[in-house]
Amino acid sequence: MNARRLLAPALRTATAVSLAAGGYLHAQLYLGGYRSVPVIGPLFLLQAGASLALAVLLLIGTPPLLLRIAAAGVALGALAGFAASRTVGVFGFTEHGLRPAPQAVLSLVAETGTLLLLAVWQLTLAGRSRAARPAVGAAAWATTRTPPG
């Protein structure tokens, strides 16, 4: 079987799994106490819901570019929120280090993994579309123009 044919579904599935993992972790944190944090709690719930919904949509079929961009946006948003909460704070909320453990580290791995998988997937799709285009060279030139004589 053609390895290229297997790569896209494998990347789609792995991306959906890593996105769902990030969503699950945020849902777990929401239920574990973040729901009582103003503004942050609802954002955790929103991130969890968006991640899980996008993961399901990725698995349904060949997703359009906009869906992959949305998945990247959710992962980037989670990473940006993580970084901001440990530096400048987010809506007056700050945390320190890799707490809560182990969810903080697992979330970083899931979100970073999602972005890496999306990048590889996009490069694979770009390579495939490049390979599908006809080659431009002497043969193509000869069929469209009369050679100098």
Phi, psi of 20 (to 5 degrees): -65, -35
pLDDT the model gives residue 117: 98
Task: Check residue 3 and give its pLDDT.
Answer: 72
pTM of the model: 0.83
Per-residue pLDDT of the chain (149 residues; tens, 9 = 90+): 577 778 889 999 999 999 999 999 999 999 999 999 999 999 999 999 999 999 999 999 778 999 999 999 999 999 999 999 999 999 999 999 999 999 999 999 999 999 999 999 999 888 776 665 555 554 544 455 555 55
Distance CA 124, CA 11 (A): 9
Residue-level pLDDT at 130: 63
pLDDT at position 5: 75
Q: State how far Cα 92 lies from the chain centre.
A: 28
Chain-centre distance for alpha carbon 11: 11
Quick one: 45 exposed, middle or buried, by C-beta within 10 A (0-12, 13-18, 19+)?
Answer: middle
